[in-house]
Amino acid sequence: MTDPTNPLIVQGDLSVLLEISSPLAGDARAALARFAELEKAPEHVHTYRISPLSLWNAAVSGLSSGDVAMTLTGFAKYPVAPSVLAEVHDQMGRYGRLRLIRDHDTTALALTSAEPALIEEVSRDKQVGALLGERLDGNRFAVRVGDRGLLKQALLRLGWPAADEAGYDDAESLDPIELSAELRSYQGDALAAWWADGGEAGGNGVLVLPCGAGKTVIGLAAIVTAGLHTLIIATSISSARQWKRELLEKTDVDPSLVGEYSGEHKDIRPITIATYQVLTWAKRGVPKDGDIFERHPHLALFDEHQWGLVIYDEVHLLPAPVFRATARIQSIRRLGLTATLVREDGREPDVFSLIGPKRFDAPWKELELLGWIAPATCIEIRIGLTDEQRMRYAVAEPEERHRVAATAPGKMRVIEELLAQHRGDRILVIGQFLDQLDQVAERFDAPIITGRTPQRAREERFDAFRRGEIPVLIVSKIANFSIDLPEANVAIQISGQFGSRQEEAQRLGRILRPDGGKATFYSLVTAETVEQTFALNRQRFLAEQGYTYEIRDA
Amino acid sequence: MVSKKKNETDPEWGAPWPSLEDRLVDVLDANPLLTLLLWRDEPGRGERPEEHLRRVVSGHLHRIRLGLDRLSNQVLEYVAFRGYLTRTSLLVEAASVDPDELDLRVRRLTTLGLLECVAGMIVIAEGVERIIVAPLPIFRQSAELLTSDQLGRACQLLGVNAAARKADRLEAVARVIEDPVRLRDLLTDLGPAATVVFAKIASRSLPAGVDADERSDLPSGAVGVWDLDLDPSLLVRGYGSNYGVDRRLGRSALEDLAERCLIGTGWGHHTWMWMECHVAINGSMFASWPSPKAPLARLVDEPIGVASRVVASAELFVEQLGADQPVGKKTGDRLPMVKAIKSAGNAVGLDPAMSALLSRAVIHHGLLIAVDRPRTGRGRNAEWPVAWVMNPERLERWRAWSPELRWLSLVQAWLVSGADQPGRVSPWTSRVFLISALASLDPGMGVPTSEVAEWMADRHGAGAMSDYDEVIEDLVRLGVCSGGSTIGLSRGGRAMLGSHVASAEVSAELASDFLGDSTTFVVQPDHTIITSSDLPPAILTTLLLVAEHESAGGAVVWRLSAARLTRASRRLSAEEIIGFLRDHSSVPISDNVVRFIDDHVIATKVLRVGASFSHIVHDDLALVAAAVAVKSARLELLAPGVAVSPLEPAKLHAALSAKGIVVEVDGAFVDAGDLNPAGSRQVVQPDSGRPLLGPLPIPLGPGVVASLALLHGSGTARTTKDTP
């Protein structure tokens, strides 16, 4: 089975290395992606990670441990360690041995298993036991409808993920609507994987696609396919309005059916777009550990209408209160959209339990090769300090050093050179420190959008940028997420939270649009300062993602 | 009395017995200490093989006993208590044990000469009683603890005729305490307080098979009668509060029991239950008899590249320690101070446990030696400090060995390292036990790590009171074993075992694990380096300097590390590191990797530390500021770019190095050539003048057992003394 020319190297820690120069790399990648998460994709050897979650995701998709073992050993360059195969077998064997079903006699929910010992074991767990109702028979426990999500979470924590076969409640239907945009092949595949022919096994889960791959369009297609009243939850008001714009542009839905539930409007319609902020708004005086619906009254939106589908945009950012509310609505179809399943808070298991398993994953490199998203080059430009500036930096308090380095005056000259070099391009200048952004805006007479900018002004400036009326837009971190600026093809990052992988991915994502052609992402870094240290994180992260990374001296 | 006519093939004991050769294979397999002892011991002139075996056994009775399995130990103790035993009585006593297993134990003990089989009965061989520590003192064998008057008084109180001779009195009392009915009646007559006190003492019996010297290892709650304090104020107070027995009554009951010899007292403040009473009460000597069973064998993962890394690490480590030249403060130190070892290990990226392990190995081989430093202090305050320095000649000779021999030398040094602790089985013994147990499994197989302790307790009852977790960790660290939830010997671990006769084959086998023909790797833009598992130590040494190990399996993943590059700048320039990577990388090295190395090597700022009142100086004010921020350096900014510290240069160096600041010290250290090796009064170390002998295979495992058995069975026993 093993062959030195094969592309896979299976490590004892359950990581799998894929040598992309191998002629079999494509086949191996396709097989591997079904049960392992792509962790990094640098130039020569990509790393995938097999985890309990990735194996359970695979089990949901119908893969067996034998299939996984066959892929690992069949494409392996060296013998696969027995412990790896044993772990695969063990973890995959756990999924589905506990099942959440709808009891035929009572139509109530029940947790069941063919193994009395297993159901006995989990029922004795304190957390699980508290969520189980009366014992219906030797291997069935009643489950309250509202506890469906919490029970799945608790079982997952025990390492016994339950197969949710309890189906969905009836919901109000939409009048038929049509999607005017044509789905790309991968978008169609993603939708089909999520919908699963409309059966009870489908209709929930997460689709992972890179920035610029058209996740919103897939969301629209899901609404059209399901034909049910839908709640869309977006990260910000700008993002929510972008959803509304796309919905109206790319479908024939009657505008009167689309509502906005935000800080400004509380308009509940058959298709309602809400924001995470409004849902997690906390009422004063209610303690954190108090009743969640009392503390976050807008979470009642989930219950106030008979939704048939909830779409979670940027699911990796889903805040904790929304998780808790989602745990109560497990009989509604759910779709999560994201560019990455990696959550900085490590709550990936909750996404699996409550939103559903990963149904589709399209690596950006493949989409780039197919021309669906723009190839990007990352360039770090290092700027030196004068002796005087260096002394100022040296004597600064540790917490001030980042600001001193990030706002080094030498960056202005470099921005000027880059703007001149990219005349004719659409350029975003992204930064963290507002006074620095104000200076840049003033110096180059460019419009600026920050958190202080009124919503109307933001929309006008974004629109003007989209129309090409303004070639350079200065933005703060508010532009990190979900702002669709397909025309932007150059980003100049002048400062940021350089340790954050998520921020890096999102900022780069602003220019990964197919319409922009080749994209260039500049980062200005002050040499021999903490900025350079932080930049290492970015360098590593972007190299891991497979981007070309250059370092230049100013 | 038992006839002294010996018959080792009595049908009573599962006859016909296998040939001596087969029985030898069995006893050697079961007792690795015996294997090692036989291997080391040359037969005398004209000495027949069985005489040689008996001589070795009788000369090392305690060690042989440590190697016996739990069931054998129990059989031995039972025979010692009973005096002699028939097969039938043993089968009745140990009814829960498979008769074949009992026969096997009797055959083994007889082959070893610990038991003798005489006319269908077995008895303890002469001189063997002294190694058998019964779980409780045996009344009949304790005449020296009791006076004739005491026995006479006991006879009188027990209502038996007090004979004139002490032996007869002893026999008379013994008959009473061996009789369950009479014992119960006696206790009833003595009253409830005596019954409670007696029951309390009876409940505190030592577990079977535990040596009296190992009581400190017993789990809490298993305290033996040996530890009961006779002091009535303590003993009786306990009964008073816990059992509702009046203190005065308790004291009186204790005296009543002792006077009648129903309990033993003496040895200072101790009181105990006689074995005879224990058997009379419980009906059996042991609460249970062990039924030996091996854990289910499982496939193991082959550790990848670990052995090569150990060799490369050792080389770097000795160089680092040699460069640091740690000073020994106290006379008699066997090793540099732990702090110095940790610091050197940290500098080359080793964890503290690996550093400790390697430090012993390199000192064992004399690669690092202690040399005298000038005496300090006078009179009672005089100290003879030593500095640990590299022995370049010896290191050169060690380096000249092939990588597999260097690895073997490190494993052997580990095997014999570690000080004995009172009341514990020596680390050497438990290491030998575990390696030989794992060698008994089929190649590629191991056992669950969680079951090792129980398995070893079964295999070596008396010798198993040890922390096998530590041994396992070391074996994994060295690459002798696989890691994870299943432990088994690696290919290298199996290959290192064998006879010196087969050393060439062993060496070839080991070499196949070390000398891969791969010398290339892939350097990726994300700073990772993917190497094959069989990279030779010569390449690994440099790789270890600049990169950290991330994962292993089919390949080994390394990551270039800023901290390591900074430390490596003491030895290598950026050009050298980049050149090394370019020489071995099968793909072009991306620009950002080159810049990363440049950033951390070329740009590494080196502070110079002066002697006496230390100072640091550098043009880079930020760097000086960073050094001043290191509290343990106690630096004070004197002028822009200059700071001073009250610490000695070496200490200042250590403080700054510990925070990752690269420092050079101006000529404060000693050269090995300048000073003589420290005298034995200061440091216990190998004679650096003695030749560095190449390591030989470790004489354990089936191969060695088979060859020893063959030689002994055929009557041509020959061993060798040049085993390491």
Cα distance between residue A488 and residue A484, in whole Å: 9
CA atoms within 13 A on the CB side of B69: 27
Q: Which chain B residue's Cα is nearest to A550?
A: B592
Q: Please say if the pLDDT value at position A333 is more than 80.
A: yes
Contact between A519 and A490 under an 8 Å Cβ cutoff? The reply is yes
Q: Does B92 touch chain A (CB under 8 A)?
A: no
Residues 514-553 of B with CB under 8 A from A: 522, 524-528, 530, 533, 551-553
Cα distance between residue B82 and residue B354, in whole Å: 50
Chain A residues in contact with B549 (beta carbon < 8 A):
none
Probe site for chain B from A47, A523, A533 (most B CB atoms < 10 A):
A47
Report which of residues B720 and A228 the model is more confident about: A228
CB contact under 8 A, A43 and B590: yes
Chain B residues in contact with A390 (beta carbon < 8 A):
621-622
Cα distance between residue B284 and residue A77, in whole Å: 60
Q: Does A404 touch chain B (CB under 8 A)?
A: no
**Range in A193-202, A436-445, B408-417, B508-517 the model is least confident about:** B508-517
Mean of all residue pLDDT scores within chain B: 78
Share in percent of chain A as helix, strand, coil (round to 5): 40, 20, 35
Q: Please say if the pLDDT value at position A459 is more than 70.
A: yes
pLDDT band (50, 70, 90) for residue B685: low
Chain A residues in contact with B553 (beta carbon < 8 A):
9-13, 15, 78, 81, 84
Compute the average pLDDT of residues A397-407. Answer: 87
How large a percentage of chain A has pLDDT more than 90? Answer: 43
Distances from the Cα of B510 to the Cα of A289, B496, B578, angstroms:
62, 7, 32
Report which of residues B248 and A355 the model is more confident about: A355
3-state DSSP assignment of residue B371: strand
CA atoms within 13 A on the CB side of A554: 22
Residues 283-342 of B with CB under 8 A from A: 298-302, 304
Share in percent of chain B as helix, strand, coil (round to 5): 50, 10, 35
Enter the DSSP assignment of A439: H
| Residue B380: predicted pLDDT | 78
CB contact under 8 A, A551 and B592: yes
Place of tokens 């360098």: A539
pLDDT band (50, 70, 90) for residue B240: very low
| Residue B159: predicted pLDDT | 87
Distances from the Cα of B4 to the Cα of B86, B123, B127, B511, angstroms:
15, 10, 15, 54
**Range in A22-31, A376-385, A525-534, B49-58 the model is least confident about:** B49-58
Probe site for chain B from A549, A552, A553 (most B CB atoms < 10 A):
A549
Contact between B51 and B38 under an 8 Å Cβ cutoff? The reply is no
Q: What is the pLDDT of residues B687-700, one digit of tens each?
A: 666 666 767 778 88
CB contact under 8 A, A43 and B587: yes
Chain B residues in contact with A47 (beta carbon < 8 A):
557
pLDDT band (50, 70, 90) for residue A125: very high
CB contact under 8 A, A390 and B622: yes
CB contact under 8 A, A80 and B554: yes
Contact between A301 and A268 under an 8 Å Cβ cutoff? The reply is yes
Q: How far is A10 from chain B (nearest CA, A)?
A: 6
In degrees and rounded to multiples of 5, residue B667 shows phi and psi of: 30, 50
Q: Which chain A residue's Cα is nearest to B605?
A: A528
Given the DSSP bridges, would you call strands A376-383 and A519-526 parallel, antiparallel or unpaired?
parallel
Compute the average pLDDT of residues B320-331. Answer: 76
Cα distance between residue B688 and residue B369, in whole Å: 8
pLDDT band (50, 70, 90) for residue A473: very high
Compute the average pLDDT of residues B430-444. Answer: 91
Tokens linked to B93:
């006593």
Chain B residues in contact with A78 (beta carbon < 8 A):
533, 553-555
pLDDT band (50, 70, 90) for residue A500: low
Probe site for chain B from A46, A77, A404, A540 (most B CB atoms < 10 A):
A540
3-state DSSP assignment of residue A424: coil
| Nearest partner of B62 among B416, B506, B463, judged by Cα | B463
The residues with which A132 forms a beta bridge, in sequence order, are A143
Burial class (CB in 10 A: 0-12, 13-18, 19+), A170: exposed
CA atoms within 13 A on the CB side of B428: 11
Distances from the Cα of B96 to the Cα of A125, B74, B293, B330, angstroms:
37, 14, 13, 57
Q: Does A391 touch chain B (CB under 8 A)?
A: yes
Chain B residues in contact with A1 (beta carbon < 8 A):
none
Contact between B291 and B98 under an 8 Å Cβ cutoff? The reply is yes
Probe site for chain A from B298, B449, B524 (most A CB atoms < 10 A):
B524
| Residue B352: predicted pLDDT | 92
Interior CA angle at B347 toward B343 and B349, to 5°? 110
Cα distance between residue A445 and residue B724, in whole Å: 82
pLDDT band (50, 70, 90) for residue A278: confident
Q: Please say if the pLDDT value at position B331 is more than 60.
A: no
Given the DSSP bridges, would you call strands B663-665 and B270-273 parallel, antiparallel or unpaired?
unpaired
Compute the average pLDDT of residues B163-182. Answer: 89
Q: Does A45 touch chain B (CB under 8 A)?
A: yes
A12, A390, A395: residue with CB nearest B553: A12
The residues with which A473 forms a beta bridge, in sequence order, are A428
**Range in A286-290, B376-380, B634-638, B709-713 the model is least confident about:** B709-713
Gap between the terminal Cα atoms of chain A: 53
Strands (E), B524-639: 528-532, 547-552, 555-560, 607-609, 614-617, 636-639
Q: Please say if the pLDDT value at position B214 is more than 70.
A: no
| Residue B218: predicted pLDDT | 34
CB contact under 8 A, A83 and B484: yes
Q: How far is B713 from chain A (nearest CA, A)?
A: 40
Q: Please say if the pLDDT value at position A215 is more than 60.
A: yes
Report which of residues B255 and B318 the model is more confident about: B318
**Range in A68-72, A531-535, B592-596, B681-685 the model is least confident about:** B681-685
Contact between B15 and B9 under an 8 Å Cβ cutoff? The reply is yes
Q: Please say if the pLDDT value at position B16 is more than 90.
A: no
Q: Which chain B residue's Cα is nearest to A10?
A: B554
Cα distance between residue B12 and residue B481, in whole Å: 43
Contacts of A39 (CB under 8 A, 6+ apart): A15, A47, A48, A49, A544
Q: Please say if the pLDDT value at position A212 is more than 50.
A: yes
Q: Please say if the pLDDT value at position B535 is more than 50.
A: yes
Pairs of CB atoms within 8 A across A/B: 105
How large a percentage of chain B has pLDDT more than 70? Answer: 78
Place of tokens 């009181």: B271
Q: What is the pLDDT of residues B41-76, one digit of tens each?
A: 877 777 777 788 888 888 888 888 888 998 998 899
Q: Does A22 touch chain B (CB under 8 A)?
A: no
Strands (E), B106-262: 115-118, 121-124
Probe site for chain A from B526, B556, B594, B623 (most A CB atoms < 10 A):
B526
**Range in A517-521, B171-175, B229-233, B307-311 the model is least confident about:** B229-233
CB contact under 8 A, A543 and B587: no
Q: Does B485 touch chain A (CB under 8 A)?
A: yes
pLDDT band (50, 70, 90) for residue B677: low
Q: Which chain A residue's Cα is nearest to B483?
A: A12
Q: Does B554 touch chain A (CB under 8 A)?
A: yes
Contact between A230 and A308 under an 8 Å Cβ cutoff? The reply is yes
**Range in A438-442, B111-115, B461-465 the model is least confident about:** B461-465
| Residue B669: predicted pLDDT | 45
CB contact under 8 A, B621 and A394: yes
Contact between B480 and B492 under an 8 Å Cβ cutoff? The reply is yes
Contact between B28 and B709 under an 8 Å Cβ cutoff? The reply is yes
Mean of all residue pLDDT scores within chain A: 87
| Residue B77: predicted pLDDT | 87
Tokens linked to B691:
């030749």
Cα distance between residue B318 and residue A87, in whole Å: 39
Strands (E), B590-641: 607-609, 614-617, 636-639
pLDDT band (50, 70, 90) for residue A5: confident
CB contact under 8 A, A17 and B522: no
Amino acid at B658: A
Compute the average pLDDT of residues B570-579. Answer: 88
Chain B residues in contact with A528 (beta carbon < 8 A):
603, 622
Cα distance between residue B574 and residue B597, in whole Å: 6
Helix (H) or strand (E) holding A550: strand A548-553
Burial class (CB in 10 A: 0-12, 13-18, 19+), A544: buried
Cα distance between residue B458 and residue B291, in whole Å: 9
Q: Identify the top-confidence range among A309-323, A362-376, A403-417, B590-604.
A: A403-417
Q: Please say if the pLDDT value at position B465 is more than 60.
A: no
Q: Which chain A residue's Cα is nearest to B599?
A: A528
Tokens linked to A66:
């034998």
Cα distance between residue A43 and residue B146, in whole Å: 86
Q: What is the pLDDT of residues B579-617, one digit of tens each?
A: 999 999 999 999 889 999 988 875 555 555 554 467 888
pTM over 0.90: no
Q: Does A551 touch chain B (CB under 8 A)?
A: yes
B298, B553, B603: residue with CB nearest A11: B553
**Range in A489-503, B126-140, B215-229, B335-349 the model is least confident about:** B215-229
Chain A residues in contact with B485 (beta carbon < 8 A):
83
Chain A residues in contact with B587 (beta carbon < 8 A):
43-44
A9, A43, A79: residue with CB nearest B524: A43
Chain A residues in contact with B527 (beta carbon < 8 A):
540, 543
CB contact under 8 A, A11 and B552: yes
| Residue A139: predicted pLDDT | 86
Enter the DSSP assignment of B677: B
Q: Please say if the pLDDT value at position A506 is more than 50.
A: yes
Q: Does B563 touch chain A (CB under 8 A)?
A: no
Compute the average pLDDT of residues A460-470. Answer: 88
Q: Please say if the pLDDT value at position B643 is more than 60.
A: yes
Chain A residues in contact with B557 (beta carbon < 8 A):
11, 15, 17, 47
| Nearest partner of B480 among B137, A116, B232, B471, judged by Cα | B471
ipTM > 0.95 for the complex: no
pLDDT band (50, 70, 90) for residue B296: confident
Place of tokens 């040895």: B267
Q: What is the per-residue burial (b if ≥16 Cβ within 10 Å, else e) of B652-663?
A: bbbbbbeeebbb
Cα distance between residue B99 and residue B114, in whole Å: 20
| Residue A124: predicted pLDDT | 93
